[in-house]
C-alpha cells in the first residue's frame, strides 16, 4: 500500500485536495472566487512563459548565448564565469528563475565541459542566481507577480521599489561565490566545438521576440498578455520554419506544475480562512522599523526553507499588510532566502533534476553549504538596501 501511495503523482494529490477543500466549504465560495480572480492570471503567465522558454531553447537561443560568452571570454576562465553570471541573471530576471534552472543549467554544464572547466562551480552559481536574481521584475518569480498586484493597488511601481535590493542581492551572491570558487574559475581554457544553430532565422526571431517581451514587461504590459503573444509568435514561427517541436506538444504547457501550484494556492487560502493568520501575525509581528523588518525577514526565510517559498509568501502576505516596505522585505526573504534546503524553491528542485539528467552528481551537503554561505548575507544586504532607499 505504501509503495502504491508513493506512486501517486503530486499533481493528482493537489487536484484531489483542492477539490475536497472547495467542495466541503473549508474554503468558502467567496474566498475561492477571490482566489481565482487573483491567481488565474499568474497561472496563465506561468503557462505562456514556459512555452516561450521551451521554444527559445528549441531555436538554440540558450546555446547561442553560451557560445557567445565562450568566444567573448577569449580563453580566460574568470571572464567566462562572469559571462555565465550575466546569462543566468538576465534569464532569471526576464524568463523567471524556473527557466534558468531548467534550461540554462544543462547549457552551462555543457559549456563548462567544452572548456575543460569543472562543471559543478558553474552549475552552482546558476542555482544561486536562479534564486537571488529573482527580485528585479514581477515576472522573475511567481511571488513577485502576486506582490505586484498588491503594490499596484497602492500606486507603487514594482521595479522602482525592488531595483536596488535586487542589484545588491546579485552583487553579494556573485562576490561570495567568486571568493569561494576562485581556484576553480581561474586560469585559461581551450574551447572545443559546440552546437551550431540548425536554423539561424528562427534563432534571430527567438532573440527578437524575447527582447520585445522583456521590454513589454519593463513597460508595464500585463505579464500574461505579453508572454502569451510571445508564445504564439514563437510557436507559429517554429511551425512555419518546419522545425521539430522542442518537446512533445502535450508537454509544452506544464499542466502538472500548474495543478500543483494551484493546489498550494487553495491550501494556503483555506488555512487563512480557518484562522491561521493570527498565529503567523504573532510570529512575524508588525511595524516598519529595522528590527520589525528583520523579524519579518527571518520568519519569511525560515518558512520558505521549511516548506517552500511560494506557500510561505502566500501565508505571510497578510502579515505584511498594506505597507509596501514590508511586502518588499517579504519578497526578499521568500525570493532570495530559500537557499538552505533542496525544497526551498521549485527552481532548486528543477535544477537538481537537470543536473542528474546531464550526469552531474551534486551531494545534498554542497547545496546546503552554499545556502548557509549565501542566505544571511544576501537577505540582510537586500533588506538594508530597502531600508536605505525607501
Position of cell 500500500? 1
Mean pLDDT by 10 residues, the chain (390 residues): 62 92 93 90 89 92 90 95 96 92 91 94 97 94 90 91 97 98 95 84 95 90 92 96 91 88 89 78 84 94 91 88 92 95 89 89 94 97 94
Q: Residue 237 contacts by C-beta under 8 Å, 6 or more apart in sequence?
A: 202, 205, 206, 209
State the cell numbers at 323: 505597507
Residue 39 CA, chain-centre distance (Å), reads 17
Structural contact between residues 87 and 75, judged by C-beta atoms closer than 8 angstroms: no
User: Cβ atoms within 10 A of the Cβ of 226, count?
Assistant: 23
pLDDT at 348: 92
List the chain domain ranges. Answer: 28-389
Crossing angle of helices 364-389 and 290-306, in 10° steps, is: 150
pLDDT at 1: 43
Distance CA 49, CA 347 (A): 15
Check residue 319 and give its pLDDT.
87
> What is the value of pTM for the model shown?
0.88
DSSP 136: S
Dump the DSSP string for 82-99: HHHHHHHHHHHHHH-HHH
Distance, CA of 59 to CA of 77 (rounded, Å): 27
C-beta separation of 67 from 293 below 8 A: no
Pair 213, 137: CB distance under 8 Å: no
Q: Which of 72, 191, 178 is nearest to 124 (CA)?
A: 178
C-alpha span between 132 and 305 (Å, rounded): 14
Query: How many whole angstroms separate alpha carbon 19 and alpha carbon 186?
Result: 54
Q: Enter the DSSP assignment of 101.
A: I
C-alpha grid cell, residue 322: 498594506
Q: Give CA–CA dist 136/156, Å, rounded.
A: 14
**N-term to C-term CA, the chain:** 55
Determine the Cα–Cα distance for residues 319 and 329; give it in Å rounded to an integer: 12
Amino acid at each position: 500500500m505504501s509503495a502504491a501511495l508513493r506512486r501517486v503523482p503530486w499533481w493528482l494529490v493537489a487536484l484531489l485536495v483542492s477539490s475536497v477543500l472547495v467542495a466541503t466549504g473549508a474554503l468558502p465560495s467567496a474566498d475561492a472566487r477571490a482566489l481565482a480572480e487573483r491567481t488565474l492570471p499568474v497561472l496563465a503567465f506561468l503557462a505562456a512563459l514556459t512555452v516561450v522558454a521551451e521554444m527559445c531553447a528549441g531555436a538554440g537561443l540558450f546555446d547561442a548565448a553560451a557560445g557567445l560568452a565562450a568566444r567573448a571570454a577569449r580563453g580566460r576562465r574568470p571572464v567566462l564565469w562572469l559571462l555565465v553570471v550575466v546569462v543566468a541573471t538576465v534569464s532569471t530576471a526576464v524568463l523567471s528563475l524556473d527557466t534558468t534552472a531548467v534550461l540554462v543549467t544543462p547549457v552551462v554544464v555543457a559549456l563548462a565541459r567544452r572548456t575543460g572547466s569543472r562543471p559543478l562551480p558553474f552549475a552552482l552559481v546558476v542555482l544561486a542566481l536562479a534564486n537571488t536574481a529573482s527580485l528585479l521584475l514581477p515576472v522573475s518569480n511567481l511571488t513577485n507577480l502576486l506582490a505586484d498586484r498588491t503594490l499596484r493597488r497602492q500606486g507603487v511601481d514594482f521595479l522602482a521599489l525592488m531595483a536596488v535590493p535586487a542589484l545588491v542581492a546579485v552583487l553579494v551572491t556573485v562576490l561570495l561565490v567568486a571568493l569561494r570558487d576562485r581556484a576553480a574559475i581561474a586560469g585559461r581554457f581551450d574551447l572545443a566545438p559546440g552546437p551550431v544553430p540548425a536554423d539561424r532565422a528562427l534563432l534571430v526571431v527567438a532573440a527578437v521576440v524575447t527582447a520585445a517581451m522583456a521590454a513589454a514587461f519593463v513597460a508595464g504590459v500585463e505579464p500574461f498578455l505579453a508572454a502569451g503573444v510571445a508564445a504564439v509568435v514563437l510557436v507559429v514561427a517554429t511551425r512555419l520554419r518546419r522545425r521539430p517541436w522542442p518537446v512533445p506538444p502535450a508537454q509544452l504547457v506544464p499542466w502538472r506544475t500548474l495543478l500543483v501550484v494551484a493546489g498550494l494556492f487553495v491550501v494556503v487560502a483555506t488555512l487563512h480562512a480557518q484562522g491561521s493568520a493570527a498565529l503567523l501575525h504573532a510570529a512575524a509581528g508588525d511595524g516598519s522599523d529595522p528590527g520589525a523588518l528583520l523579524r519579518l525577514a527571518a520568519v519569511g526565510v525560515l518558512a520558505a526553507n521549511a516548506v517552500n517559498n511560494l506557500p510561505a509568501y502566500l501565508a505571510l502576505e497578510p502579515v505584511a499588510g498594506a505597507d509596501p516596505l514590508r511586502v518588499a522585505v517579504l519578497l526578499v526573504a521568500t525570493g532570495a532566502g530559500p537557499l538552505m534546503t533542496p525544497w526551498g524553491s521549485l527552481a532548486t528542485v528543477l535544477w537538481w533534476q537537470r543536473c542528474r539528467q546531464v550526469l552531474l552528481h551534486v551531494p545534498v551537503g554542497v547545496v546546503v553549504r552554499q545556502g548557509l554561505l549565501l542566505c544571511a548575507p544576501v537577505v540582510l544586504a537586500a533588506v538594508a538596501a530597502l531600508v536605505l532607499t525607501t
